[in-house]
Every structure is written in structure tokens, then in C-alpha cells.
Amino acid sequence: MKILKNINIDEIIKIAQDAGVLIMNVYKKEFKIFAKQDTSPVTEADLLAHKLIINQLKLVTPNIPVLSEESNVSDFEDRLNWETYWLVDPLDGTKEFLKKNDEFTVNIALIHKQQPILGVIQAPALDTTYWGYRHNCAFKKKGGKFKTISVRKRPQKISEWVIVGSRSHQSTEFKDFIKNYPGAKIISMGSSLKFCLIAEGIADIYPRLGLTSEWDTAAAQAIVEAAKGQVLKLPEKKPLKYNTNPSNLLNPNFLVCGDYI
């Protein structure tokens, strides 16, 4: 894809990792917690990571606009005119960050024509980075170990399936969903790391039957699709798309899975 020829993935990974360093500096001390207009929590770490990522992306790709969860109102209004842009969650899993369970991430995605075509996820407390190009290859680096990752084959028995659920947002709908998979193993995980479990072949499906925002999912979707998996909106089971709604950036219910649905 032509747009990707001008992107140096190593630069984007470094931006995510540098943001992770700032986040960990806050994580290790007492920090301030604020409330957004929607009453959801935001911390010093969210705001510091946001500022670093925005500034660095503008330096390395000055012609590509950036939309972050912490962006101002004008960016949210302008984004409908953008064919290509960066979509960022500077700290995905703020509730996990507050609980100190290490399951939070930095998410950076490149959106082109309503599709995530590149994604980088940094889990700073786990010293782990995931990245991938849509329908190409996905990768994981933990510590000094680097490998290509891909979704696993569909298990033959329902009891062998592994289903991922949210650490902080398990709903009645999720509990009803898993009743269709008696004996399946359930893994609870925070932030975009749920997608990564599908991408690296640890789990088979992740049903999200509740509200998420586009910055929560974009980088992870690019990585899952690079790993030959799918992110499908429900009930249509068509790929999740971005920047299609003029009024908000909320996702419909969706299913993350391998290439067999």
C-alpha cells in the first residue's frame, strides 16, 4: 500500500515505547486522577503520553493528522474530512492502570479509507510490544525476544475453545454468549491485550458486547488482521470500520476471531 511506504514502523514503535516510559514513571508513584465530562477517569499518565505521542507523530509524519482520545473538540469535528490519520489511545485500560494490575497499553493506529492499516500496541508494564500491517504480518517483542505471530486454527471440540473477556466490563450479554461454549476456557484480560491474545494464537474469540470507542480498537484490529484474524461488527459479521459516524466515535458490538467465521 502506497501510504505505508512513507511510514517508518520503527519510529512509531519508539514513540509508543517512549510514551510507555512516561506512563511507568507515573505508575510507580502517587498520581493525580481527574474526571472527564463523561465521568470516566483520566490520569497524569494519560495526558503526558497524549502530549508526547501527538508531538512525535507530527514530527515524523507532518502531513498526517492525529486524533487522540484526549484531543480537543475541533479535532473530533475535523476528522470526518480525513481520509488518512493517526488514531491514538495514549493509555488504554485506565481502570487497569488504577488497579495496578499491569494490563494497560499504548495504542497507535494508522487509519486509511476507514480501515486500520497499521497498528502498534505497547504494554509498558509487561515490557511487550505488538505491531502489524493489515493483511500482511504481525509481530510480538517481549524483552529481547522477537517473533512473528498468527491466529490459531479452530479447535475441533467446543470444550477446547478459549474465550477472552474483559477484566473490568464483563456483562450479562457476555455471560449469555459463553453459555454456547460449555467447557470452554475463559481468560479475563484488560485493555487491547484481549485482541493480542487472539493475534498470537492463545485464544480463539473475544466477543465485545458493550460500548467501546474507536481508539480502543483500531491498533488492535490492524494487528489481528495482520495475524490473519478478523474483527467483525455484530450482527452483520462484516469488518469493523472507522470514521463513519458524524456524531460520535463509538463502536457497535463486535467479535474478534480467527479466520474461520
Q: Which region among 15-24, 126-135, 164-173, 229-238 has the lowest average model confidence (pLDDT)?
A: 164-173
- Alpha helices by DSSP H, listed for 118-233, are 172-178, 193-199, 214-226
Predicted confidence (pLDDT) per residue in 55-76, tens digit? 999 999 999 999 999 988 767 8
User: Do residues 166 and 188 lie in contact, with contact meaning Cβ atoms separated by under 8 Å?
Assistant: yes
By C-alpha distance, which of 173, 172, 229, 222 is closest to 198?
A: 229
Collapsing DSSP to helix, strand or coil, 203 comes out as: coil
With 90 as the cut, is the pLDDT of residue 30 above it? no
Most confident of the following: 14-18, 36-40, 257-261 = 14-18
What angle, 0 to 180 degrees and rounded to 10, lies between the N-to-C axes of helices 44-60 and 9-27?
Answer: 160
With 90 as the cut, is the pLDDT of residue 204 above it? yes
* Cβ count near 90 (within 10 Å): 28
Residue 58 exposed, middle or buried by CB count within 10 Å (0-12, 13-18, 19+) = middle
Predicted confidence (pLDDT) per residue in 119-164, tens digit? 999 999 999 999 999 878 999 999 889 999 999 998 989 999 999 9
Domains along the chain with CATH numbers: 2-148 (3.30.540.10), 158-257 (3.40.190.80)
Q: Which region among 15-19, 64-68, 91-95, 171-175 has the lowest average model confidence (pLDDT)?
A: 171-175
By C-alpha distance, which of 127, 160, 167 is closest to 146?
A: 127
Q: What angle do CA 55, 67, 199 make, to 5 degrees?
A: 100
